[in-house]
Amino acid sequence: MAFSIVNRPVGDFAGWAATPDVQVVAGDFGGGVQTDIALVNRAPGWSSIPVAVSGSSGFTIQNRPAGDFAAWAATPGVELVTGDFNGDSRSDLALVNRLGGWTTIPEALGDEDGFIIENRPAGDFAAWAATPGVELVTGDFNGDFQTDLALVNRAGGWTTIPVALSRDDGFTIQNRPAGDFAAWAATPGVELLTGDFNGDFESDLALVNRLSGWTTIPLALSDDDEFIIKNYPVGDFAAWATTPGVELVTGDFDGNSRTSRTDIALVNHAPGWTSVPVAVAGFTEFTIENRPAADFAAWAASPNVAVVAEDFNDDGATDLALVNRAPGWTTIPVALGGEERFTVQNAPAGDFARWAATPGVQLVSGDFNDDSKIDLGLVSNAGGWTSIPVALSQEWLI
């Protein structure tokens, strides 16, 4: 069995998850290595952040006080992001106001059994974040293992990419020149991606044009305090990316353990493909592989299928899984990543596959049992459940 299905009781947590306007987020909020699930209410009324803390045999429910942070999270126009903003290996929450009026970025810093609330000054960055057409992204843009924030203007007019670098006690604001990249980002139909595309342990930015006309993928490569702009040729990949119904996903699909560079894959949700194209990142280029994946490609074209890119077998390569959000499946197809190929398995998932098709259910991923393999979980936002079903990754045949 590639997945072991368990249905973990969560009591009050399940009821809170069904509260209107609640946002479900996954992360390691207590520093126990396993993935936890938190609930943030985007409407007024809560003063806490409930957390389902993963353990070896189930979830422990904590209703963590969050005071002002819970109130700020209900502010109209606020975007919630997650990351490790203080470098303690625990997941944190941060709020960025996209409508203006703030000069700070509030944070709820994960701790062993609570949240530490800080309201960190962010000066110009907070104002720039309220610019119409700006996209907010997270990553480690200076390689210090703390999550930073960056702003890319998709409407045009900027020649820079502002970055808020996390420090132990606040943010350092940089307005990094980005020249052509900033202009290309404003091209209609362009999708912005983040990842470490050159394997230097700093997060980079990439642009893929979904409407046609490009034969390249522009990159803004982080280098300490600046971005280095590159424009890598990708040939057929750029054309395939414009196919209607195609989804872009990122991960290390070849499992290069020496560098863990981020690759880009295309999954077509419309019929007709028998492969999954991958742009494999190198130090100075992308290598294009059109990997055969016949059955997987066909299943991906089923209506209402969600793609999850994670490492389900702990071999260092990112895999792809398909979860059908409509009834009819009893399996979770998986394309296991590896050097120059995908190995396709159709993993039985019984009740989990059926529960995933329940209206109002949100799919989450993480390591829920501390075995270094990524698992899948289901949280109902619609009410009626008292549990969180989990599909635990087991041994996979390659």
Blockwise average pLDDT, block size 10, the chain, 398 residues:
92 97 97 95 98 93 97 98 96 97 97 95 96 98 97 96 93 97 97 97 98 96 96 97 98 82 98 98 96 97 97 96 97 96 96 97 97 97 96 85
Cβ contacts of 135 within 8 Å, gap of 6 or more: 151, 152, 153, 154, 192
Q: Among all chains, which residue has been given the structure tokens 């959000």?
A: 325
pTM: 0.97
CB 26 within 8 Å of CB 365: yes
The DSSP line for 258-276 is: TT-PPEEEEEESSTT--EE
Q: Tell me, what's the pLDDT at 190?
A: 98
Q: Tell me, what's the pLDDT at 292?
A: 98
Q: Tell me, what's the pLDDT at 142?
A: 97
Q: Tell me, what's the pLDDT at 57?
A: 83
Q: Tell me, what's the pLDDT at 1?
A: 58
Q: Tell me, what's the pLDDT at 396?
A: 82
Strand, helix or coil for residue 162:
strand
Which residue, 36, 126, 27, is CA-closest to 72?
A: 126
Q: Tell me, what's the pLDDT at 258?
A: 62
Q: Tell me, what's the pLDDT at 277?
A: 98
Q: What backbone torsions phi and psi does residue 159 show, to the nearest 5 degrees?
A: -120, 10
CB 166 within 8 Å of CB 85: yes
Strand, helix or coil for residue 43:
coil
Q: Report d(CA 276, CA 241) in Å as an integer.
A: 11
Q: Tell me, what's the pLDDT at 307?
A: 98
Q: Report d(CA 220, CA 387) in Å as an integer.
A: 43
Q: Tell me, what's the pLDDT at 230?
A: 98
CB 50 within 8 Å of CB 64: yes
Q: Tell me, what's the pLDDT at 144?
A: 96
Q: Tell me, what's the pLDDT at 256?
A: 73
> Which two structure tokens, joined as six digits, stand for 71?
């109130």
Q: Tell me, what's the pLDDT at 131?
A: 97
Q: Tell me, what's the pLDDT at 274?
A: 98
